[in-house]
Amino acid sequence: MARILVTGSTAGIGLETARQLLASGHGVVLHARDDARAEAVQAQLRTDAGEPEVVVGDLTSMASTRRLALEVAESRPLDVVVHNAGVGASDERVLTDDGLERIFQVNVVAPYLLTALVPAPARLVYLASGTQSRGELLLDDLQHDPARRAWDGMQAYSDSKLADVVLALAVARRWPYVVSNAVDPGWIRTRMGGASASGEPAEGADTPVWLATSQEPDATLSGRYLHRRRALEPNPAARDEAVQEGLLETLAELTGTGLPSR
């Protein structure tokens, strides 16, 4: 049985992913942004084996994300990390206490930092989105500077999800012994997906759970972008090595933490 960290496991697809993994007997490390949510989700997902482990970290803060990474790095090694936590489009451009654009920080900086700081597991899964196809990565304007362009929350979200695919594929290329993939979960009825979304959380969790745990040969291929367990061709930028290296370099400069060569 694998030991699997699922970020953002207090709600939506992450909660359902954790639930499915626990039901199959895997060791799940839950993640919540604060202690109150941590206690609530631990109690909610209690099984006969007891309460699952939980780690706490607010991904709108680099300091908190680093503490989370350190706690995870110091605990028993993980087999898999599912980078699921994310925020959707917003009407306004919001800055975090770190002074970073919030969607970019939670959806891109946080999974990058966790990837760089937590010892590499055997498998990595990054929750992207079908919106990655309309994403555009301006490496000199990843945070949608208001002096350069009017705020478009959906574009910022799409760009962040393209960055997640770029990150997954960059890690797959840099770390050939790690199985690293990106997933479009589909349009799923969650807080982010909204009430009119067509899919249930179980459908959204299916491909991440399969990639995290299946021994089927198809589930152990790396460097892919998948939807419903099938590989799709991602936005061409995602396979562009110059874009991959540019994103890694920009994130390394921003965070002061490079992606280690493993």
Beta strands in 122-178 (DSSP E): 123-127
Measured distance CA(15)–CA(104) in Å, rounded: 22
Which of 60, 181, 222, 244 forms a contact with ligand NAP (CB under 6 A)? 60
- As measured in angstroms, the least distance from the Cβ of 13 to ligand NAP is 4
- Residue 114 near residue 64 (C-beta atoms within 8 A): no
Cα 65 to Cα 18, 87, 99, distances in angstroms: 20, 15, 15
Q: Respond yes or no: is residue 161 known to be catalytic.
A: yes
Under rule CB under 6 A, which residues in 127-166 are in contact with ligand NAP?
127, 129
Name the phi and psi angles at 28, rounded to 5: -110, 135
Rg over CA atoms, the chain: 17
Task: Return d(Cα 220, Cα 22) in angstroms, integer.
Answer: 21
* 228 lines the binding site for ligand NAP (CB under 6 A): no
Nearer to ligand NAP, 176 or 194 (CB): 194
Q: Is 157 a catalytic residue?
A: yes
Q: Is 87 in the site for ligand NAP (CB under 6 A)?
A: yes
Structure token digits, residue 162: 């393209």
Stretch touching ligand NAP by CB under 6 A, among 146-154, 188-196, 219-227, 230-238: 188-196
Q: How far apart are CA 94 and CA 102, in angstroms?
A: 6
Q: Does the footprint of ligand NAP cover residue 17 (CB under 6 A)?
A: no
| 234 part of the interface to ligand NAP, by CB under 6 A | no
Closer of 68 and 120 to ligand NAP (Cβ): 68
Annotated catalytic residue: which of 112, 126, 161, 225?
161
How many whole angstroms separate alpha carbon 42 and alpha carbon 176? 34
| Shortest Å, Cβ 107 to ligand NAP | 6
Would you give the binding string for ligand NAP spanning residues 92-121, x where CB under 6 A is met?
--------------x---------------
d(CA 209, CA 135): 25
Cα gap 111→135, rounded to integer Å: 18
The catalytic residues are 157, 161
* Residues within the interface to ligand NAP (CB under 6 A): 8, 10-14, 33, 37, 58-60, 84-87, 106, 127, 129, 185, 187-188, 190-193, 197
